[in-house]
Structure 1
Amino acid sequence: MRRGYSFYAQLGLTVLLCLFIVVPIVMSALAGVTVNIFKGVSSGLTLRWIFEVWDLYAQSILLSLWLAVACLVVTTLAGVPLAYVLVRRPNRLTRMFEEILTLPVAIPGLALALALLITYGGFGSFRSSWVFILIGHVLFTLPFMVRSVAAVMSAMDMKTLEEGAASLGAGFWHRFLHVIVPNAMPGILAGALMVVTLSIGEFNLTWMLHTPLTKTLPVGLADSYASMRLEIGSAYTLIFFVLIMPLLIAMQMLARPGKKRHTASQLAEDE
């Protein structure tokens, strides 16, 4: 098939847009391994700035990873059952709860953080702990987990699956864990992808909630750009990409369709 002018015009526009996005990222990463950013690559390449970033901000980087994992665990344990209730028992009360659940997404992060500070800021030890930031991250990311899982649960015939499993003698929790959850796994993985990436990259809310001892990766990144050399800030950005990109690729591969799902008949065969 002969390709016309419009195809090549669209292709050229796509390439230009990709370059517009990718080139600044490459330049920033390159600056993180350049001896002197003002002289450019001609000044030589070095890993000095990366080691300095690790020495200065290792605790912040590790804390962000820990918060992301903890946030993922909490949102999964809370979000999957919540999504099940919202889909399985649709009524006025659950619809109202769903709207309330999505409020943290509509409210600016600074406003949400301010509300947490006003309500719980008086508890000294709690205010200065990483759990305080975790609560903010959970409130912000939980709607994404619930919506992702609920979308998948709404698309499958959950009532038929449960009735089939119940006719085989499976109790509620057995049905939920061995029939519903495996079939909802694409939504859980998609929600996990959003939760982890949002938690690691969240700045506005975390900036208000953090203390000098609970500084996270985005807050440390802003601090490095404001008070350090540009090379250190760029090296910090490079470390951020090195941490987040493999995680994104791995979770996207896990979220691909084609995973084997459990049905009531398979449950009978397992038993």
Structure 2
Amino acid sequence: MDARGLPEPHENASTVPPAPPMVATSRQRFALPSARTWIAGAQWLVTLATCAFLVVPVIMSIVAGLTVNYFRGIASGLTLRWLEEVWTQYHGSVFLSLEVAAATLAITLATGVPAGYALARSRTRVSRMIEELLVMPVALPGLASALALLVVYGGFSAFRMSAAFIVVGHVVFTLPFMVRPVAAICASSDLRTLEEGAASLGANFMQRFFTIVLPNARPGIVAGALAVLTLSIGEFNLTWMLHTPDTKTLPVGLADTYASLRIEVGSAYTILFFVMTMPLLVAMQWLGVDTSGANARSKRGVRARHHQDSQ
């Protein structure tokens, strides 16, 4: 009680003193980013700088192929003259590259798909040795592989002077990129189970291969096909060693244009090369192509762990 006989404010149990207003301090308003934010920002900065380092030269090369004079830049005006000149002189190389790539794809499909299936089904040491031998041309320089082909088959003049000689070299180089994705898919335990079920129903080997193996191995086949086409069109080292004046492919023609000491012509040829290969690269990215088979192996590992957990 106070002097006037009134109760003190704190004596009333039902009365709760109001909470003081929250006032944001200057440190709260202007808090520094966390260490994680700084690290993420640095990663983005490095990534963008790397992309610019790789992409800017390509863009400048494309622009050079569309300008009247490279040394004056865009100020000299834009033109399609160099593209027309390149197409007039090297359109034969374009069609030859497409023919070689198509022939290479057909041979790698006919040989690589059965080989990948056989290697996936075999667990012997010999099959592992064969797989390593198939990958060997990728580890060797293209010039070394070309020299080996010249030593063995160079004496057959008609074969040596034809585009078929280049196709053989491309098949040797690109076959591993067809075999490995197909083998990774065919090694799946699910595929083995489907085959065993079909065999129990009376399906022979050919029926199982065409109705079960090929449809289920389609992701690996598509991945290998796109990789083979892209590598065949862009292969230079091996092709340069094997080509003749009548069998110039796109990369060899590109080297010739740059040797002409006319930057605009070489850059225009780069545009043509870019137009042909970019759709394949986009398709590989869009379809999630994994030529090494790592994604397929990781998915099988996840399915195996899930099966073990369910048991």
Fold shared by both chains (TM-score > 0.5): yes
Select between 245-254 and 116-125 the one with higher mean Cα deviation. Answer: 245-254
Measure how far apart 1:113 and its partner are: 0.5
User: Which residue identity is paired with 2:218?
Assistant: M
User: Which residue identity is paired with 1:79?
Assistant: G
Q: Which runs of structure 2 are paired with 1:187-202 in the superposition (5 Å)?
A: 187-202=220-235
Return the alpha-carbon distance in structure 1 between the equivalents of residues 198 and 54 of structure 2. 50
2:169 corresponds in structure 1 to 136
Q: Which runs of structure 2 are paired with 1:15-26 in the superposition (5 Å)?
A: 15-26=48-59
Q: Does 1:230 align with 2:263?
A: yes
2:99 corresponds in structure 1 to 66
2:307 corresponds in structure 1 to none
CA contact under 8 A between 2:182 and 2:220: conserved in structure 1? yes
What's the secondary structure of 2:182's corresponding residue? Answer: helix
What's the secondary structure of 1:38's corresponding residue? Answer: coil
CA contact under 8 A between 1:152 and 1:187: conserved in structure 2? yes
Return the alpha-carbon distance in structure 1 between the equivalents of residues 65 and 120 of structure 2. 48
Q: Which runs of structure 2 are paired with 1:231-246 in the superposition (5 Å)?
A: 231-246=264-279
1:264 corresponds in structure 2 to none
Q: Which runs of structure 2 are paired with 1:50-65 in the superposition (5 Å)?
A: 50-65=83-98
1:263 corresponds in structure 2 to none
Measure how far apart 1:98 and its partner are: 1.3
Q: Does 1:185 align with 2:218?
A: yes
1:260 corresponds in structure 2 to none
CA contact under 8 A between 2:191 and 2:216: conserved in structure 1? no
Question: How many residue pairs align between the two structures?
Answer: 257
2:82 corresponds in structure 1 to 49
Return the alpha-carbon distance in structure 2 between the equivalents of residues 15 and 256 of structure 1. 24
Distance 1:256 1:205, change over 3 A: closer
User: Which residue identity is paired with 2:66?
Assistant: V
CA contact under 8 A between 1:193 and 1:252: conserved in structure 2? no
Return the alpha-carbon distance in structure 1 between the equivalents of residues 120 and 223 of structure 2. 18
Gaps of 5+ in 1: 258-271
User: 1:217-263: per-residue Cα shift (whole Å, max 9, x none)?
Assistant: 00000010012411000000011111111122234434579xxxxxx
User: Which residue identity is paired with 2:93?
Assistant: S
CA contact under 8 A between 1:201 and 1:218: conserved in structure 2? yes
Measure how far apart 1:62 and its partner are: 1.1
Measure how far apart 1:68 and its partner are: 1.1
Distance 1:39 1:126, change over 3 A: same
What's the secondary structure of 2:70's corresponding residue? Answer: coil
User: 1:169-226: per-residue Cα shift (whole Å, max 9, x none)?
Assistant: 3221111111111111111111112111111111110000000000010000001001
CA contact under 8 A between 2:223 and 2:289: conserved in structure 1? no
CA contact under 8 A between 1:189 and 1:255: conserved in structure 2? no
Query: Paired residue for 2:286, among 253, 257, 267?
Result: 253
Q: Which runs of structure 2 are paired with 1:1-16 in the superposition (5 Å)?
A: 4-16=37-49
User: Which residue identity is paired with 1:134?
Assistant: V
Q: Does 1:36 align with 2:73?
A: no
Measure how far apart 1:14 and its partner are: 1.2
Return the alpha-carbon distance in structure 1 between the equivalents of residues 47 and 282 of structure 2. 22
What's the secondary structure of 2:187's corresponding residue? Answer: helix
Return the alpha-carbon distance in structure 2 between the equivalents of residues 8 and 171 of structure 1. 59
User: 1:65-101: per-residue Cα shift (whole Å, max 9, x none)?
Assistant: 1111111111111001001111112212212211211
Q: Does 1:79 align with 2:108?
A: no
User: Which residue identity is paired with 2:184?
Assistant: A
Query: Paired residue for 2:134, among 101, 105, 108?
Result: 101
RMSD: 1.7
CA contact under 8 A between 1:148 and 1:191: conserved in structure 2? yes
Return the alpha-carbon distance in structure 1 between the equivalents of residues 192 and 185 of structure 2. 14
Q: TM-score, normalised by structure 1?
A: 0.90
1:153 corresponds in structure 2 to 186
Return the alpha-carbon distance in structure 1 between the equivalents of residues 89 and 79 of structure 2. 17
Q: TM-score, normalised by structure 2?
A: 0.79
Return the alpha-carbon distance in structure 2 between the equivalents of residues 218 and 174 of structure 1. 42
User: Which residue identity is paired with 2:229?
Assistant: V
